[in-house]
Chains A and B, each alone.
Chain A
């Protein structure tokens, strides 16, 4: 495990050196990313500026959810880029090379790309998160902060899991499925607001199918001391584990896909 992390570090160092050869493109990419997510943030601010609250949620409270969701997605985007361009690897036949190396294929796919340009969303998400934590008086050592950070990691795992599922499709068909972009980007758009404002269908989907609720809303209401609880309190404290578990399930599905690929050879 530790050894794998070290090798992952080597891959990342290599990827960074490769990307830094095109410094301008990284900077522009990061700036563009920052602007796109910034416009989104402006929309959120404008909404609260006009209406003050949404179903009893203040801007500072929603900012916590927003920050957690965006930091999670940004981390997953940076680390999981390889899965998002994976269909090209299959189409070009270069996936065979990964099979020829003595490492897990999911590990290699994740390690092979490290998307520096997505730090735009990360910076913006972190800024909003810090603002929210300060406004709530939560930026101090304590169980709440641990839960927030843990849930962000769990949320990143959930987004990664969706990327893995999206990539797995490439083993079975060369047709691209935009469906998954709806889940990830639709998911983050949804999760930027309190899940309690949506209808039951959407809420159930993001709780029990793709457990994005555990990336911010479920632990968020506990940390913020709000009344919208989903199930028992211990479940909220277990939020980080839900994302990790979902990621693990997705990796099992990946292995099924890989087995299929290796028996059809295309």
Chain B
């Protein structure tokens, strides 16, 4: 069943432009220059219950605008949006009681208080039954291994501990839909793995729908069965990781370590890079079967080592963003308009 339905979502922001220098600042008091930024230019997608979707895009592409609309904070200019059968911004209170939101960059916990007191207060705010709260808290504390820091004031927590506590806080009211915004930003490797593992289990075992916005492509690769890419306020790609790879057209990789420093340039593969005796080739697995290519290389060259891999997702995304950028340039840019105000 569709949990999120978004159709043709539109949102424009009017941004005041500051002029440089003292005179500019003075002029700004009298007359302001406004620029219209089209944050969402007709975004549409559906998310079914139990999906784990990666929502990615370059800075300023409209990611957080979309999340704000879905979370009920922001009212769009146009388009349709229904989350769990509700229009988020029309029924804010009912809506937010049934979603969880974690912002990696800021905490929702009370800075000076022991962690557990923030949880208690959230229990009151979300009207969670005491009995249920205890059961849930126990389960979450165990799963995220934060039992030892429950009595520590939030300001004394490490970033990793704080993030895990923030995840607990967002789930105390057992939402069926969770928004994670950069949940692993700034975390060390073990903490990242712990958060990812938890999110995976939450999605698999409890069936919680997760919308993950991130710049960390390892998060995406580790977690998301589906990736939605937004750029310049439009969805530029929506599908599985494999689909994304195909769309980006970067193909698959063969990395060859040659015995000798000799030229290697098969006709049906492209040389991506060469460092000494290590050559990286890209090929299209549909047109050129990997086995045939490997066989031919090993026949014609003395090979010490060779392996086939999928290109890193960073590259795919960079490619996609580049593509969208090229398209964006072709379109007329919104004109700055001058408003006396």
Contacts and interface: CB of A to CB of B under 8 A. Distances in A.
Interface of A: 3, 6-7, 10-11, 14, 17-18, 21, 93-94, 96-97, 99-104, 259, 262-266
Nearest to A266: B13
Contacts of A96: 68, 73
Contacts of B294: none
B13 A18 contact: no
Interface string B71-105: 11111000000000000010011101100010100
Given A7-B124, A262-B73, A265-B13, A101 B112 contact: no
Given A96-B73, A97-B108, 10 more contacts: A10-B121, A18-B112, A21-B112, A99-B92, A100-B72, A102-B97, A104-B93, A259-B75, A265-B68, A265-B74
Given A263-B75, A265-B74, A102 B96 contact: yes
Contacts of A259: 75
B117 A102 contact: no
Interface of B: 11, 13-14, 65, 68, 71-75, 89, 92-94, 96-97, 101, 103, 106, 108, 110-113, 117, 120-121, 124-127, 153
Nearest to B122: A101
B181 to A, nearest CB: 11
Nearest to B69: A265
Contacts of A101: 96, 125-126
B202 to A, nearest CB: 19
28 contacts: A3-B127, A10-B121, A14-B110, A14-B117, A14-B121, A17-B113, A18-B110, A18-B111, A21-B153, A96-B68, A96-B73, A97-B106, A99-B71, A99-B73, A99-B92, A99-B96, A100-B72, A100-B101, A101-B96, A101-B125, A102-B97, A102-B125, A103-B93, A103-B125, A259-B75, A262-B75, A265-B11, A265-B73
Which 8 pairs, one residue from A and one from B, show the smallest C-beta to C-beta distance? A102-B97, A18-B112, A99-B73, A263-B75, A265-B74, A10-B124, A102-B93, A7-B124
